[in-house]
């Protein structure tokens, strides 16, 4: 377990690791799940609200007496089905407890400490840390948007099965991200129930902007699928048109072969010396006339 205390140096508050006895009460504690199982009785009474039966698949916030508890799982934007961080938290009047479940939660928190500015209360600290979770999400979403543009550029030459699998993969990513930002917005609204409405307004607005961005990407993905389907339909129509033209070209020849293949008696062309040559000339002329007609009508 890592403890951090709030100190004031050079006119500003900051957090530093506790050095043991004689230090102020911990302002921030970082635990793993095993340490939390041993210590949770010091903070909570009753049922485990932090996903004690295994990692939660969503972000949620619950009240447990005068303590606000929750679970946060941050999905990877670039990698479908993976989570960047997974953690529980317990917000008390005098301290904030983080319980690491997945990813380097300790490294993430320690990396954010130098940038923290609002340390008036544990709730201010929690809001700043949660804001940090979304700090680079807009950049990551922009990179995802660039990948969708690259996918659109390769659409004409792409293998249909490969392209559709890529669309399905991006759809799953965006679906998870949309649910994540929706849950973050709901969590922010739950935090406001504690009375600090203004404190969480910026957080909620940020989550909603990211949620709207994901919604636009999902619409782009849907339009991309419709465009690809239209392209495939156009290709099939061209193939069917070509097959129709070829069939029409040889239809008169089929009629001729069927006609003279009946071998009726007294068919003068069968006995004529130049009958075979005449049939070749007639067939060639018919094909030439049909080709000229199709070219004029722009079927080719």
* Residue 210: per-residue pLDDT: 92
Neighbours of 49 (CB within 10 A): 20
Domain boundaries, the chain: 1-133, 139-236, 250-296
Q: How far apart are the first and last CA of the chain?
A: 76
* Residue 54: per-residue pLDDT: 46
* Residue 221: per-residue pLDDT: 92
Low-confidence ranges of the chain (pLDDT < 50): 52-56
Taking the model in full, what pTM does it have?
Answer: 0.74
Q: Is residue 86 a contact partner of residue 133, using CB atoms and an 8 Å limit?
A: no
Residue-wise pLDDT for 193-243, tens only, equals: 877 778 889 889 999 999 999 999 999 999 999 999 898 888 888 888 888
**β-sheet bridge partners, residue 73:** 86
Question: Is the domain covering 1-133 a CATH 2.60.120 domain?
Answer: no
The torsion region of residue 280 among left (phi > 0), alpha (psi -120 to 50) and beta comes to alpha
* Residue 212: per-residue pLDDT: 94
CA dist 189 and 61 (Å) reads: 10
CA distances in angstroms from 235 to 150, 181, 231, 232, 297, listed in the order given: 21, 39, 6, 5, 20
């Amino acid at each position: 377990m890592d403890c951090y205390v709030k100190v004031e140096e050079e006119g500003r508050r900051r957090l530093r690791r506790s050095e043991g006895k004689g230090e102020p009460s911990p302002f921030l504690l970082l635990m793993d799940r095993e340490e939390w199982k041993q210590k949770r009785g010091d903070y909570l009474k009753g049922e485990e609200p932090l996903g004690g039966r295994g990692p939660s698949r969503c972000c949620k916030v619950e009240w447990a007496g005068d303590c606000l508890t929750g679970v946060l799982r941050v999905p990877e934007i670039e990698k479908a089905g993976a989570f960047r961080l997974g953690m529980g938290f317990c917000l008390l009047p005098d301290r904030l407890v983080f319980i690491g479940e997945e990813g380097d939660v300790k490294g993430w928190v320690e990396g954010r400490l130098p940038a923290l500015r609002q340390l008036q209360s544990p709730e201010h600290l929690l809001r700043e840390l949660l804001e940090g979770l979304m700090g680079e999400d807009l950049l990551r979403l922009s990179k995802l948007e660039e990948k969708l543009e690259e996918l659109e550029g390769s659409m004409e030459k792409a293998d249909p099965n490969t392209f559709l699998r890529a669309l399905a993969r991006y759809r799953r990513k965006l679906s998870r991200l949309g649910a994540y930002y929706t849950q973050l917005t709901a969590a922010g609204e739950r935090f406001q129930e504690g009375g600090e409405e203004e404190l969480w307004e910026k957080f909620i607005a940020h989550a909603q902007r990211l949620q709207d961005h994901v919604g636009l990407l999902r619409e782009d993905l849907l339009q991309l699928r419709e465009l690809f389907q239209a392209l495939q339909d156009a290709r099939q129509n061209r193939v069917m048109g070509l097959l129709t033209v070829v069939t029409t070209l040889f239809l008169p020849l089929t009629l001729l072969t069927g006609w003279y293949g009946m071998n009726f008696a007294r068919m003068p062309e069968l006995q004529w010396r130049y009958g075979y040559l005449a049939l070749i000339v007639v067939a060639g002329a018919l094909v030439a006339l049909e080709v000229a007609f199709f070219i004029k009508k722009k079927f080719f």
